[in-house]
Amino acid sequence: MRDSFISSIYKVTKKDKNVLCIVGDIGAFLLRNYIKDFPNNYFNLGVAEANMVGVASGLAMSGKIPFVYTITPFITARPYEQIKVDVCYNNANVKLVGVGSGASYGTMGSTHHSLDDLALMSTLPNMTVISPSDPLEVEEAVFAAAKHVGPVYIRLTLKSKPLIYKREDFKIGKARVVRNGKDVAVIATGDMVEVAVDAASILEKENISCQIINMHTIKPIDERLIGDLSKKYKVIISIEEHSVMGGLGSAISSVLAQIPDNKALFKAMGFRDEFVKIYASDKHEIFNAYGLSEKHLANEVLSLYMYAKSNNTRRH
């Protein structure tokens, strides 16, 4: 995802010279071609994230479209007051891009993990929150963010595989169907879309057919799709590389709770209310340790599906 953002910010700046790339002392080597070709569009403001966000807000209110790029906890948690007051209160056209989200920096521990960023950004008025699932979607998100007027947060991990499925046009607030299924709906975001696809392959062997949804926009969330799923499926499960509080699962449960005739059982999977204290270069080891691997997801789907099926049988 990181490399995709680097190529995407180059393309979008080439198309619109009002686009700026502001960084917090990272990515100089990766951005070397950008710096060479667009020297007046690039600003390295150092390890001073609050100042960086304030400067971006001023530039946005002068007609520019600044993309502010650094490691996720340093662009969400550290300058939170400036994001709230300078960016969101003024509805400034600033695009925040966090890289290494979730547990991507698995060897660096909780200082570099971001399991709360979706919650932090989603509570801010005027903020749009996007969580792409693969490199192609990163490019689509960058172009959509540049076109969108108002604050946007784009959540990037480090590395992800391209997902192969028939894609509808990328639209902020409209989820994508990755895989059709008739028994259970699994809603995922970011790298967890790949985990959901792998879990669906496991569940095929149990004759359970899963609909896989890529919820790339956390805010505004696709309420219409969630409503449709609640009528079609008896079981809906969400999975995210984030705390279960304040992220994808919370947003979905809020929608489901307000649907009077909702009969779907719902479970949110994510990191529980704790710090991750396992260090691993491969974050899938962390997923496995905290119950978020494709096997864990498949087991949760199977358990909830059988429960729903048995209850339905007893009622009849």
Catalytic residue annotation: 49
Residues in the chain: 316
Give the separation between CA 118 and CA 115, rounded to whole angstroms. Answer: 8
Q: Identify the bridge partners of residue 66 per DSSP, sorted by sequence position.
A: 20
Q: In what order do the strands lie in the sheet with 128-130?
A: 42-44, 19-23, 65-71, 95-99, 152-155, 128-130, 217-219
Which token pair is 49? Answer: 């994230």
Kindly tell me the number of DSSP H helices and DSSP E strands found in the chain.
Answer: 12, 12
CA separation, residue 306 to residues 15, 197, 265, 301 (Å): 52, 20, 11, 8
Which token pair is 86? Answer: 């300078």
Closest CA to 42 of 9, 2, 75: 9
Cα distance from N-terminal residue to C-terminal residue, the chain? 49
How far does Cα 83 stand from its chain's mean position?
Answer: 18
Closest CA to 119 of 131, 137, 107: 131
Closest CA to 18 of 26, 31, 6, 9: 9
| Three-class DSSP category at 114 | strand
**Amino acid residing at 304:** L
Please give the DSSP secondary-structure letter assigned to residue 58.
Answer: H
Which token pair is 195? Answer: 């985990």
